């Protein structure tokens, strides 16, 4: 049975309210027509479902908040980035309608393998090209806990030329201890460099569980696939917080620029200073499983 326009509008308004957006300022739009504008003259174009990915773990397509991605006129960062699967099933918005306000787009909620999934993509208005991606997960079972593998997959625009330029530990080998990775299209440096930030510093409750595929591997050389193990108590809601950053290949040292850009993810104070927590209510800080965010103390 198709959802009526009235029911859809009510549902999308509720999604906007729970995300801290004024319902009056939110607009329902076809996801495929949304391109968010962010810092560094960047654009982040959503697609639902993605039709260009060759990554094996999302063979039927999935919603992507960035199908291509561009910064300063330097395009083709992705062929479908930050796609999700929940327990092996791809997250797709069944109505193909997103809730947009300014540079932010909400997709979902959708019930996927026992978890209700709502995503919020926001092109940050900072000096660099950053997309913040929040994945809210809810266990709708009032009695039983639920555990699922949450997989994050990006098909890179660098295609068969994809290679790892750096990981969080400073070497070229991505492990589940690395909080970040920078990739490129190799020596040509035609596509923008792409940075993924998987989890925060310190001791968050959830970190990367498995590295399923690293760019540059023989079989799926353009695919970055990692997963996270998430357990939710009955009726509980928690979130995962990811960042993607594009670095243009203009200038003398784009890799140095990309590496310097990762420093803002090294501490909550730097995240705040860079404006990357803008719009996130401090009361929700504890809900983020892969970042250990601490709400500031209030004076009495």
Q: Give the CA dihedral 8, 11, 14, 15, nearest 10 degrees.
A: -90
Two structure tokens written together for 13: 């308004």
pLDDT at 296 (0 to 100): 82
CB atoms inside a 10 Å sphere around CB 121: 27
Q: Are 79 and 67 in contact (CB under 8 A)?
A: yes
The C-alpha atoms of residue 59 and residue 272 are separated, in whole angstroms, by 37
Distances (CA, A) of 118 to 41, 63, 121: 27, 11, 10
Two structure tokens written together for 27: 């607009």
Q: Are 244 and 66 in contact (CB under 8 A)?
A: yes
Structural domain spans, the chain: 29-287
DSSP state of 50: -
The C-alpha atoms of residue 290 and residue 123 are separated, in whole angstroms, by 20
Q: At a CB cut-off of 8 Å and minimum separation 6, what does 29 contact?
A: 97, 98, 100
Distances (CA, A) of 100 to 13, 120, 159, 172, 232: 10, 9, 30, 37, 28
Furthest-apart CA atoms within the chain: distance in Å: 59
pLDDT at 219 (0 to 100): 78
SS3 161: helix
Q: Are 215 and 156 in contact (CB under 8 A)?
A: yes
Backbone angles phi, psi at 271, to 5 degrees: -60, -45
The C-alpha atoms of residue 113 and residue 202 are separated, in whole angstroms, by 30
pLDDT tens per residue, the chain (300 residues)? 333 333 344 444 445 444 444 444 678 999 999 999 999 999 999 999 998 888 887 755 799 999 999 998 899 999 999 999 999 999 999 999 999 999 999 999 999 999 999 999 999 998 899 999 999 999 999 999 999 999 999 999 999 999 999 999 999 999 999 999 999 998 778 899 999 999 999 999 999 999 999 998 877 889 999 999 999 999 999 999 999 999 999 877 999 999 999 999 999 999 999 999 999 999 999 999 999 999 987 666
Give residue 87's region: left, alpha or beta (phi > 0; psi -120 to 50): left
Two structure tokens written together for 58: 């999302």
Q: Are 156 and 78 in contact (CB under 8 A)?
A: yes
The C-alpha atoms of residue 97 and residue 176 are separated, in whole angstroms, by 34
Rg of the Cα atoms in the chain: 18
29-287 is classed in which CATH architecture? Distorted Sandwich (2.70)
Two structure tokens written together for 171: 């070497």
Two structure tokens written together for 130: 């950053």
Q: Are 159 and 71 in contact (CB under 8 A)?
A: no
């Amino acid at each position: 049975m198709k959802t009526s326009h009235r029911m859809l509008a009510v549902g999308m308004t509720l999604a906007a309210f729970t995300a801290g957006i004024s319902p009056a300022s939110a607009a329902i739009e076809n996801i495929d027509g949304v391109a968010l504008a962010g810092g560094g003259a960047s654009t982040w174009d959503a697609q639902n479902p993605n039709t260009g990915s060759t990554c094996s773990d999302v063979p039927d397509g999935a919603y992507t908040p960035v199908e291509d991605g561009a910064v300063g006129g330097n395009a083709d960062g992705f062929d479908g980035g930050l796609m999700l699967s929940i327990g092996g099933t791809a997250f797709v918005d069944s109505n193909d309608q997103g809730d947009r306000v300014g540079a932010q787009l909400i997709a979902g909620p959708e019930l996927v393998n026992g978890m209700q999934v709502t995503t919020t993509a926001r092109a940050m208005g900072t000096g660099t090209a950053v997309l913040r991606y929040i994945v809210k997960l809810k266990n709708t079972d009032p009695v039983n806990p639920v555990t699922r593998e949450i997989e994050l997959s990006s098909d890179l625009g660098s295609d068969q030329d994809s290679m790892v330029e750096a990981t969080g530990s400073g070497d070229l080998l991505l492990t589940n201890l690395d909080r970040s990775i920078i990739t490129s299209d190799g020596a040509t440096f035609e596509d923008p460099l792409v940075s993924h930030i998987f989890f925060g510093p310190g001791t968050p409750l959830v970190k990367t569980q498995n590295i399923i595929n690293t760019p540059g591997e023989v079989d799926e050389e353009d695919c970055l696939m990692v997963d996270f193990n998430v357990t939710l108590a009955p009726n509980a809601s928690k979130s995962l917080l990811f960042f993607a950053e594009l670095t243009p290949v203009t200038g003398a040292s784009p890799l140095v620029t990309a590496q310097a850009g990762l420093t803002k993810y090294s501490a909550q104070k730097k995240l705040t200073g860079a404006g990357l927590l803008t719009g996130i209510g401090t009361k929700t800080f504890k809900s983020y499983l892969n970042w250990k965010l601490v709400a500031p103390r209030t004076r009495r």
